[in-house]
Amino acid sequence: MGLDITWAVDWVRRSAQVISEHRVELITLDREIGDGDHGENMDRGFQAVLPKLDDLAAGSTPGDVLKLVATTLISTVGGAAGPLYGTAYLKAAAAAGSAVSLDGPAIAAILTAARDGVVARGKAETGDKTMIDALTPAVDAADAAAAAGVDAAGVFAAAADAAEAGALATEPLVARKGRASYLGERSAGHRDPGAESSALLLRAAADAAAASAGA
Amino acid sequence: MKKIINDPKRVVDESVAGFGLAHADIVRVEFDPIHVVRADAPISGKVGIVSGGGSGHEPLHAGYVGFGMLDAAVPGAVFTSPTPDPIVAATKAVDGGAGVLHIVKNYTGDVLNFETAADLAAADGIEVRAVITNDDVAVKDSLYTAGRRGVAGTVLVEKIAGAAAERGDSLDAVVAVAERVNANARSMGLALTPCIVPHAGEPSFTLAEDEIEIGIGIHGEPGRERVKLEPADRLVDRLLEPILDDLPYERGERALLFVNGMGGTPQVELYLAYRRAAEVLEERGIQITRSLVGNFITALEMQGMSITLLKLDDEMVELWDAPVQTAALRWGR
C-alpha cells in the first residue's frame, strides 16, 4: 500500500511533536559541541509549518506537503539547519513529483534525493559527524528494503532504524564539518545533534506510515 | 540565569526595536522580515554593503550601519544565522544600482543562508558579491574543519570596505579592498567565563573558577584548549604568538592593534592587555599606526577578549581614517 497525502500531513504533525518533545535534548547536544541553538531553531521551523497545513488546497499531493515544509524551514529556521533541511525537503518534493501515492521504491528515491541535496549544499561526507551520518545509512537501508520488495511503511521503518544507529555511531567521531569541527578532537564523545534530529524525523515518518498502513 | 529580558523568544525583536528608536537619525528598522537599514538608503550609484549573522555580538552588526560603513545589517536569532528572506529584503533595500557586497563571517550557517539569499537577489537582477571573513587563527584551516572562523577582523573589514564604498569605489574595487583587509587580519580570543543564550537558559560550557578557555570564537562555543588562569601579560602573549606566527611582520611594518572585549570585560582590563600587546609589538619592531580598544564584537555577557592585528598599507590607513557615523563607531563627521 502506498503513502498518500494523509500520511504526509500526519508525518509533518508527528515531526513537529517529536521535535518539540526533544527540543531540550537537541539544545543540550548542540551546546556540548556547537552553540546550543539546534532544538530551538528546528522547533520554531516545524511549529511554523503546522498552521500552513490547514491552507493546503484540495487535491494536494505528498510532494506539495514536502515543498511546503521546505519553504517554511528555509524561511524560519536559520543557522545551518535551515538551508540544509530546506534543501533536503525541496529535493524530496521534486523526487515525489505529482504522485498521489508513494510506494517503496518511490520512498527510497525520495530519501536518496534528500540526502544528495544535503551533500551538495553542505559538502559533508560520511564520517564528518553531521546529519549525513544518519541520512546515508537510512538511504542504504531504504534502497535494500525497496529492492527486497518491502512496502513503503517497511522501507521507512528500515530507514529509521538505520538513521538511529547512524546517529548513535556519531558519538566517537571527530567532527570535520560545521561548528563542531572547531573543537577538533574534543568533539569526540558527543552525539551530533543534526544526525539526531534526522533520526527523529525519519522515525516520525515511519510511525506515520505504520499508522497509515494500520488504518 | 539573570538577564534583563521579557520573553526569551522576543529578545532580538525587542532589542532591535530599541536600537531603532535610539538611533532614528542613523537607521530605520524593518520588522517583516527583520533588518536594519541606513536611514538614507538606497544611495544611487553607491555600492551597498550588507552584513549580518546571529544576534548576541552587539554592537556588531547593526551598530555599524550608517555613513561610511554598512548600508544594512540583518540580525538573526541569538547566535543563529538569519534566514535568506531578510537578507534578500536588506539587499534590495540598499541596492543603488552599483551592486551589493555581502560581508559574511565564516560560519556554516551564515555562509549557507547568505549564499541562498545571493542566489535569490541575483534572480531579481541585483549583482551580489560576497566576501567571507576568516581571520581566526585558533582554527586550523584544513580539509578537516569548516575553515577558519570570521571574528573580530570582520569589524575592520566592514569599516574599511564601507569607506571605499562611500567614496564611490566600484563593486570590484570594494570587494578587492575587503578581501585585502581580511587577508591581512589575524585574530585569537580567550574566555574567562561562558555565556548564556537566553532561550537555552544555561551556560554554553562550564569552566572551573581557575580555568580559562583559549581559542574561542564568538558564539559561546568552546575553544581548542583549557588552561589555568595566568597573569594578563602571559595571556596576551598566548594570543599574540599564534597571530604573529601565522602572518609574520618585517621590522618597520605598520599594524592596527585591536583589543576587543567579549561583552563582560571591563575597559580597565582591555587597556591593561593593550599595554602588554603594544610592548610585544614594539620589541618586534612593528609600528602600531592605528588602534581600537573596546567591546566591538561580543558573545553576550562573556568575560574574555580577543586580539586582532591588521597589517596596514597606505590605502587601508586612509580608509580607516575616513569619516564614519554609526551607533558604535563615529569620527570625522
B171 and B212 together in one domain: no
Which of B153, B184, B215 is a domain's end point? Answer: B184
Give the domain extent around B265. 186-320
Is the CB of residue B227 less than 8 Å away from at least one CB of chain A?
A: no
Q: How far is CA A104 from CA A47, A199, A200, in A?
A: 29, 19, 20
Q: Check residue A36 and give its pLDDT.
A: 82
Q: Tell whether B39 is within 8 A of chain A (Cβ).
A: no
Is the C-alpha dihedral spanning B90, B3, A23, A21 positive or negative?
Answer: negative
* Chain centre to alpha carbon of residue B172: 22
Model confidence band, residue A50 (pLDDT cutoffs 50, 70, 90): very high
CB contact under 8 A, B82 and A176: no
- pLDDT per position as a tens digit, A95-114: 999 999 999 999 999 999 99
The answer to whether residue B331 sits within a structural domain is no
Whether B137 and B228 share a structural domain: no
Residues A122-140: tens digit of each pLDDT: 989 999 999 999 999 999 9
Q: For residues A95 and A102, what is the distance between their CA atoms, to the nearest angstrom?
A: 11
B222 at the A interface (CB within 8 A)?
Answer: yes
What CATH code is carried by the domain that includes residue B87?
3.40.50.10440
Q: What is the 3-state secondary structure (H, E, C) of chain A?
A: CCECHHHHHHHHHHHHHHHHHCHHHHHHHHHHHCCCCHHHHHHHHHHHHHHHHCCCCCCCCHHHHHHHHHHHHHHHCCCCHHHHHHHHHHHHHHHHCCCCCECHHHHHHHHHHHHHHHHHHHCCCCCCCCCHHHHHHHHHHHHHHHHCCCCHHHHHHHHHHHHHHHHHCCCCCCCCCCHHHHHHHHHCCCCCHHHHHHHHHHHHHHHHHHHHHHC
Give a yes or no: residue B325 inside a domain: no
pLDDT of residue A111: 98
Are both B190 and B314 inside the same structural domain? yes
Q: Is B4 a domain residue?
A: no
Domain's final residue, options B184, B199, B220: B184
The residue among B159, B184, B209 that closes a domain is: B184
Residues B213 and B69 in one domain: no
Q: What is the pLDDT of residue B142?
A: 62
**What's B206's domain CATH number?**
3.30.1180.20
B78 touches chain A (CB under 8 A): yes
Instruction: For residues B168 and B215, state if they share a domain.
Output: no
Active site residue B61: no
CA B178 vs. chain centroid, Å, equals 13
Residue B5: predicted pLDDT: 96
User: What is the reported pLDDT for B144?
Assistant: 67
In a structure prediction context, what are the per-residue pLDDT tens digits for chain B, which is 333 residues long?
Answer: 899 999 998 999 999 999 999 999 999 999 999 999 999 999 999 999 999 999 999 999 999 999 999 999 999 999 989 999 999 999 999 999 999 999 999 998 999 999 999 988 988 899 999 999 999 999 876 666 778 999 999 999 999 999 999 999 999 999 999 999 999 999 999 999 999 989 878 887 888 999 999 998 898 777 778 999 999 999 999 999 999 999 999 999 999 999 999 999 999 999 999 999 999 999 999 999 999 999 999 999 999 999 999 999 999 999 999 999 999 999 998
The pLDDT value recorded for residue B143 is 63
Residue position matching grid coordinates 499508522: A211
Asked, for residue B332, whether it belongs to a domain, the answer is no
Nearest to A83 among B107, B112, B223 (CB): B112
Mean pLDDT of all residues belonging to chain A? 94
Q: Whole-prediction pTM value? A: 0.87
> Tens of pLDDT along A194-207?
999 999 999 999 99
- The label of the residue with cell 544565522 reads B81
Same-domain pairing of B201 and B307: yes
User: Are residues B116 and A83, on separate chains, in Cβ contact within 8 Å?
Assistant: yes
Q: What is the per-residue pLDDT for B136?
A: 94
- Cα–Cα distance for residue pair B134/B148, rounded to 1 Å: 5
Q: d(Cα A209, Cα A155) in Å, to the nearest integer?
A: 10
Number of domains present in the structure of chain A: 1
Residues B191 and B206: beta-carbon distance below 8 Å: no
Q: Does residue B32 form part of some domain?
A: yes
Give yes or no for a contact between A42 and A79, defined as CB atoms under 8 angstroms apart: no
Residues B89 and B50 in one domain: yes
| B153 in the same domain as B29 | yes
pLDDT at res. B160: 98
Distance from CA of A30 to the nearest CA of B (A): 9
| B287 at interface of A, judged by CB pairs closer than 8 A | no
Q: Which of B82, B84, B217 sits opposite A182 (nearest CB)?
A: B217
> Are B26 and B154 part of one and the same domain?
yes
Provide the CATH number for the domain around residue A133: 1.25.40.340
pLDDT category, A183, cuts 50, 70, 90?
confident
**Structural domain count of chain B:** 2
Residue B131 inside a domain? The answer is: yes
Question: How far apart are the C-alpha atoms of B226 and B239, rounded to whole Å?
Answer: 14
Domain that holds residue A178: 5-214
> Do both B143 and B266 map to the same domain?
no
Q: Checking DSSP bridges between strand B254-261 and strand B287-294, what pairing results, if any?
A: parallel
B57 counts as catalytic: yes
Same domain for B50 and B168: yes
Nearest CA to B118 out of B138, B94, B101 is that of: B101
The answer to whether B200 contacts A36, with C-beta atoms less than 8 Å apart, is yes
Q: Do residues B103 and B49 touch, judged by C-beta distance below 8 A? A: yes
CA A181, CA A195: separation in Å to the nearest integer? 15
CB contact at 8 A, A179 and A37: no
Contact at CB, B81 and A76, closer than 8 angstroms = no
Q: Is residue B209 located within the same domain as residue B310?
A: yes
ipTM of this model? 0.75
CB < 8 Å from A in window 92-111 of B: 107-109
